[in-house]
């Protein structure tokens, strides 16, 4: 509750004073650098009252500030009101402006505290460089929240289970062999992994410790022939432990990971990913041990879906498309007739997916925003704050599902009543950007951020822009946001090369604060296009199967190639989904995919 935030801040400040701490930095992270955090590590949310997934909190004796990018400004202003915490606006999450603030506002000899167990090693190095130049002392051995959070939730304890064939198309032993081959190429004798989706993918295991992502809290230490999985007691039953042992993987208590790193033989060569491990874990490694820093091999391997996995995703998209057709048929029959709110949308779309075979859970919290709420990219309707869907305007729905055969993520904007000419214009410009990227052909190995402008160009042409990336990687019954590729304005590096088998979202948008928002999103699969004397080229196969609302389009803004693409896409959607539908859902599909 926001009214209790000043009390919590006061308790933290008292403890800081006792410890001789001038400032405390609280990031939005856990020891695994997860996007969605188990409750135990949601300290920034507990202390600030801000519920956004990204943000950095800094508290001093007389100041508290939350650094957040433009996706969260409206939400943060609402949630921080009356808390005594200032919103510090940054243009993008990649801007570490809080570091500049620390250097400018702390004096030489002042102590900054941050829990090293939840601070990314790469971020820690930037922080250390900034503080060193200003003579500020960093303490990373304290979890100050532990002393002031009396009802802190326990660590999650959901059981771990196997992801089985046919959906787990590659055996665990084969994946381990591929990672060990990469270890040998790096000259490493050991490899430590903390990112939960890497561990789940590598061992063909899944869990329920993190909302929306079927992963489990753990660390993994591999050597040339075996390895140890550090996981909470009781989370792996005896039968599963036996099967893991057959592939050389022993099970140990989650809390023993640091000790295992500290006990590595002196002649070991340890492979670590500095972007995917924390300062606290890195500090556990003996100072004289040889450490090789490179991206986790599993991160690269899991980003490239096999043909068998790609086919399971295609089949999953049919199931997801059927659920969406049933949902939208219900919606069109009920809107402006029955009482519908943004909360109803979440309930109905989740229920439709839950009726489909292989469905496990939503892949993220459904975003259903009507008119002004649709202008908030990360909007979440709550019982206390939500809108009724009635009258005229645009409804933005961003939703997805976790299925045994894949992860889905789709955004559609649909007309409610009669959309305005201005709303149709924005919708069509976003559609043009989405089509431009969908139709792209590019050399294999192109760095994914280079593709960002393809989707923005038709929107830029009208003097409009948006604050989030165009696309993110998507896992295979794993995290809905997956690296290393990202179609965004992030700084490119060699690990972001676009390769066959990668699945990436395509979701440009336009947001008019206080009025409406438009985002249209499909998932795309990298597939071979052509090979010639200039090299190997890739193109995108559109995986998502759901019509785009024809009522929202201003046809005069589309050229013939764009119209042809839309007609071809709708024909494909109709061919894939119609055999699975009947009644109102089939009628809705046929009406929604008619030729323009």
Query: pLDDT at position 362, please?
Result: 97
561: CB partners within 8 A, 6+ apart: 439
557: CB partners within 8 A, 6+ apart: 425, 428, 429, 432
Predicted confidence band of residue 472 (pLDDT cuts 50, 70, 90): very high
Fold of 161-302: Creatine Amidinohydrolase; Chain A, domain 1 (3.40.350)
pLDDT 10s digits, 186-199: 999 999 999 999 99
pLDDT 10s digits, 566-577: 999 999 999 999
pLDDT 10s digits, 18-41: 999 999 999 999 999 998 899 999
Residue 344 gets which letter from DSSP? H
Give the pTM: 0.93
Query: pLDDT at position 404, please?
Result: 98
pLDDT 10s digits, 294-346: 999 999 999 999 999 999 999 999 999 999 999 999 999 999 999 999 999 99
Helix axes 121-134, 97-105, angle to 10 degrees: 30
pLDDT 10s digits, 385-426: 899 999 999 999 999 999 999 999 999 999 999 999 999 999
Query: pLDDT at position 96, please?
Result: 65
pLDDT of residue 12 exceeding 90, the answer is yes
User: Beta 56-60 vs 23-26: how paired, if at all?
Assistant: antiparallel
Predicted confidence band of residue 2 (pLDDT cuts 50, 70, 90): very low
Cis omega (within 30 of 0) on the bond before 298? no
Residue 88 gets which letter from DSSP? E
pLDDT 10s digits, 82-99: 999 999 998 765 556 889
Instruction: Determine the Cα–Cα distance for residues 302 and 316; give it in Å rounded to an integer.
Output: 18
Query: pLDDT at position 75, please?
Result: 82
Q: What is the mean pLDDT of residues 233-248?
A: 97
Same fold for the pair 2-148 and 161-302: yes
pLDDT of residue 1 exceeding 50, the answer is no
Q: What are phi and psi of 429, to 5 degrees?
A: -65, -40
Query: pLDDT at position 92, please?
Result: 62
- Of 463, 473, 534, which Cα lies nearest the Cα of 498? 473
pLDDT of residue 494 exceeding 90, the answer is yes
Query: pLDDT at position 496, please?
Result: 97
* Residue labelled with tokens 């059981």: 159
pLDDT of residue 430 exceeding 80, the answer is yes
Query: pLDDT at position 405, please?
Result: 98
pLDDT of residue 72 exceeding 50, the answer is yes
Best CATH choice for the domain 304-592 from the list 3.30.450.20, 3.30.1360.120, 3.40.50.2300, 3.90.230.10 = 3.90.230.10
177: CB partners within 8 A, 6+ apart: none
Best CATH choice for the domain 2-148 from the list 3.60.20.30, 3.30.70.60, 3.40.350.10, 3.40.50.300 = 3.40.350.10
pLDDT 10s digits, 119-165: 999 999 999 999 999 999 999 998 999 989 999 999 999 999 999 99
Q: Average per-residue pLDDT in the chain?
A: 95
Instruction: Determine the Cα–Cα distance for residues 262 and 433; give it in Å rounded to an integer.
Output: 51
Domain ranges of the chain: 2-148, 161-302, 304-592
pLDDT 10s digits, 365-378: 999 999 999 998 88
């Amino acid at each position: 509750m926001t009214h209790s935030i000043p009390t919590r801040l006061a308790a933290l400040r008292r403890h800081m004073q006792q410890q001789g701490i001038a400032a405390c930095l609280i990031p939005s992270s856990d020891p695994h650098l997860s996007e969605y955090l188990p409750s135990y590590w949601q300290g920034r949310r507990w202390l600030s009252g801000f519920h956004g997934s990204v943000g950095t909190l800094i508290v001093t004796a007389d100041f508290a500030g939350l650094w957040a990018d433009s996706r969260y400004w409206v939400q943060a202003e609402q949630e921080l009101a009356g808390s005594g915490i200032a919103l510090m606006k940054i243009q993008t999450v990649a801007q570490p402006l809080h570091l500049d603030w620390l250097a400018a506002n702390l004096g030489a000899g002042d102590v900054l505290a941050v829990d090293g167990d939840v601070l990314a090693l790469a971020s820690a190095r930037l922080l250390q460089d900034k503080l060193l130049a200003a003579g500020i002392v960093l303490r990373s051995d304290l979890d100050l929240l532990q002393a002031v959070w009396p009802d802190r939730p326990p660590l999650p304890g959901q059981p771990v289970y196997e992801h089985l064939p046919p959906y787990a198309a590659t055996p665990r032993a084969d994946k381990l062999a591929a990672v060990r081959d990469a270890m040998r190429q790096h000259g490493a004798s050991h490899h430590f992994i903390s990112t939960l989706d890497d561990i789940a993918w590598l061992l063909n295991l899944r869990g329920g410790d993190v909302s929306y992502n079927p992963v489990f809290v753990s660390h993994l230490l591999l050597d040339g022939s075996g390895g140890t999985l550090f996981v909470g007691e009781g989370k792996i039953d005896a039968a599963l432990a036996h099967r893991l042992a057959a592939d050389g993987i022993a099970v140990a208590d989650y809390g023993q990971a640091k000790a295992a790193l500290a006990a590595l033989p002196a002649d070991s060569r340890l492979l670590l990913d500095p972007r995917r491990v924390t300062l606290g874990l890195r500090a556990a490694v003996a100072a004289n041990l040889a450490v090789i820093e490179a991206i986790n091999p599993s991160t690269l391997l899991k980003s490239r879906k096999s043909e068998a996995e790609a086919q399971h995703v295609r089949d999953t998209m049919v199931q997801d498309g059927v659920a969406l057709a049933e949902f939208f048929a219900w919606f069109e029959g009920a809107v402006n007739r029955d009482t519908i709110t943004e909360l109803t949308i979440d309930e109905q779309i989740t229920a439709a997916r839950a009726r489909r075979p292989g469905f496990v859970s939503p892949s993220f919290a459904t975003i259903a925003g009507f008119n002004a709420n649709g202008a908030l990219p990360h909007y979440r309707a709550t019982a206390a704050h939500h809108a009724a869907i009635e009258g005229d305007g645009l409804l933005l729905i961003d939703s997805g599902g976790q299925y045994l055969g894949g992860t889905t993520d789709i955004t559609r904007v649909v007309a409610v009543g009669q959309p305005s000419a201005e709303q149709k214009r924005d919708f069509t410009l976003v559609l043009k950007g989405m089509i431009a990227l969908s139709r792209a052909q590019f050399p294999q190995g192109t760095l994914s951020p280079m593709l960002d402008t393809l989707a923005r160009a038709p929107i830029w042409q009208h003097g409009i822009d948006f604050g989030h990336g165009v696309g993110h990687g998507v896992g295979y019954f794993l995290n809905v946001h997956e690296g290393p590729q990202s179609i965004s304005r992030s700084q490119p590096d060699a690990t972001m090369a676009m390769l066959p088998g990668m699945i990436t979202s395509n979701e440009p948008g336009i947001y008019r604060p206080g009025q409406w928002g438009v985002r249209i999103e499909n998932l795309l699969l990298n597939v071979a296009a052509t090979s010639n004397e200039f090299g190997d080229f890739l193109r995108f196969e559109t995986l998502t199967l759901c019509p785009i609302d024809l009522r929202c389009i201003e046809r005069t803004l589309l050229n013939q190639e764009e119209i042809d693409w839309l007609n071809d896409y709708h024909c494909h959607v109709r061919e894939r989904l119609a055999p699975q539908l009947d009644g109102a859902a089939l009628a809705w599909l046929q009406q929604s995919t008619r030729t323009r």
